[in-house]
Amino acid sequence: MAMADMRSPIESGCPDGFQYMHPTMRRNFGLWKYHTDPKPGVLCHVAESGEKIFTVKAGTQRILDIFSLRELTAIGDEFADGYIRFTIRSNIEYNVTDEAKIDPLIKALEDKGYVVGGTKNSVTSLSHTQGWLHCDIPGTDASGVVKSMMDELIDEFTSWNMPNRVHITTSCCQINCGGQGDIAINVQHTKPPKIDHSQVSNVCERPSVVARCPVAAIRPAMVDGMPSLEVDEKKCICCGACFPPCPPMMINDAEHSKLAVWVGGNHSNARGKPTFQKLVASAIPNNPPRWPEAAAIVKLILKCYKEDARDWERVGEWVERIGWPRFFELTGLPFTKYHIDNWRGARASLNASTHIRF
């Protein structure tokens, strides 16, 4: 291609969202007065100007194939105003200004097998990380856990029967994304990595692997005359952080990579400062394709929360009020030595607030 024909580069990054917004939303941006919840899965926002817009929310499988995407967008064109957005929890939201379109839109979604709900005091779709799809360190496939868990929680998604909204997260490794959900299902490695010494010098930059370990458990070593690494297993906390820069340090294991359930995390600063989640169940079998043991624990926690929490208490607030001993009493989950955090590196000053401090 001749230089003269080359186009100038397009800045990459997030495109301007306003161009995709429903015109009613654009007109009233920043000028909303209040919102109501006419029924599960439907929101109604009212602007200072008196204009109204309805949102209909449905759960999706998140990893969407092109056929489902066409189906979902065709429903939007036919039954809504042609405007959609996806939420961080893989829900699709349709914007409609004509109230009469809501029921036909819901029927069209349900006829195609999509479930409408996830608003107000429901269990909204679980959020999940990428798993096998694109990441290099998963110990499980978060999307599989999500699918099997949401199948079990469909009634909690379609109705308002929880004390407050419940956000559940999953993550496919022990160290990176995932999140501070009301309930989180995270991978838990329970054995140090097994090192394939024949590969280390070909694949790994040893200084960066040594630097990566949070507890300084990795040292350079010569093994069978080849440069390799060794792990002080007494120090290793089985976090898996060495595996991404050095795949020969294999930590995933069909038997010893488990799941753990954590409770009471919160990102926002809305009513109290953000909170870290706490471990409540460890070494749960990572048991595809339906993960029945993990699902049973999550359902048990939700049942106790539903029966015992006050109106509008989030899971973390409920536990804070009743105390952890009572939480373990109510749920019947065993309290073991693994629940005791004796890691001195955490210190009381670990930043648990999003406020900037100087």
Binding site for ligand SF4 (CB under 6 A): 129-131, 135, 137-138, 171-173, 176-178, 192-193, 212-213, 215, 217-218, 231, 236-242, 251
Closest contact distance (angstroms) between CB of 283 and ligand SF4 is 17
Closest contact distance (angstroms) between CB of 172 and ligand SF4 is 3
Closest contact distance (angstroms) between CB of 242 and ligand SF4 is 3
**Residue 239: which of 189, 187, 201 has the closest Cα?**
189
Contact yes or no for 60/110 (Cβ under 8 A): no
Closest contact distance (angstroms) between CB of 85 and ligand SF4 is 23
Closest contact distance (angstroms) between CB of 15 and ligand SF4 is 24
Contact yes or no for 143/106 (Cβ under 8 A): no
- Chain centre to alpha carbon of residue 66: 23
Closest contact distance (angstroms) between CB of 236 and ligand SF4 is 3
Contact yes or no for 273/301 (Cβ under 8 A): no
Closest contact distance (angstroms) between CB of 269 and ligand SF4 is 24
Q: Which is nearer to ligand SF4, 271 or 344 (CB)?
A: 344
CA distance 298 to 205: 40
Q: Which is nearer to ligand SF4, 121 or 169 (CB)?
A: 169
Q: Which is nearer to ligand SF4, 46 or 250 (CB)?
A: 250
Give SS3 for 275.
strand
Contact yes or no for 292/261 (Cβ under 8 A): no
User: 183-189 and 168-170: which strand pairing?
Assistant: parallel
- What would the two tokens of residue 122 be? 């429901």
Other beta carbons within 10 Å of 191 = 13
- What would the two tokens of residue 227 be? 């440069």
Per-residue b or e along 338-349, where b marks 16 or more CB atoms closer than 10 Å to that residue's CB: eeeeeeeeeeee
How many Cα atoms are found within 13 Å in the side-chain-facing hemisphere of 12? 0
Closest contact distance (angstroms) between CB of 132 and ligand SF4 is 9
Q: Which is nearer to ligand SF4, 62 or 212 (CB)?
A: 212
Q: Which is nearer to ligand SF4, 131 or 264 (CB)?
A: 131
CA distance 243 to 137: 7
CA distance 60 to 115: 8
Closest contact distance (angstroms) between CB of 93 and ligand SF4 is 24
Q: Which is nearer to ligand SF4, 40 or 178 (CB)?
A: 178
Q: Which is nearer to ligand SF4, 200 or 218 (CB)?
A: 218
Q: Which is nearer to ligand SF4, 40 or 192 (CB)?
A: 192
Q: Which is nearer to ligand SF4, 40 or 245 (CB)?
A: 245
Other beta carbons within 10 Å of 41 = 27
CA distance 170 to 13: 26
Query: Which letter does DSSP use for residue 162 in this model?
Result: S
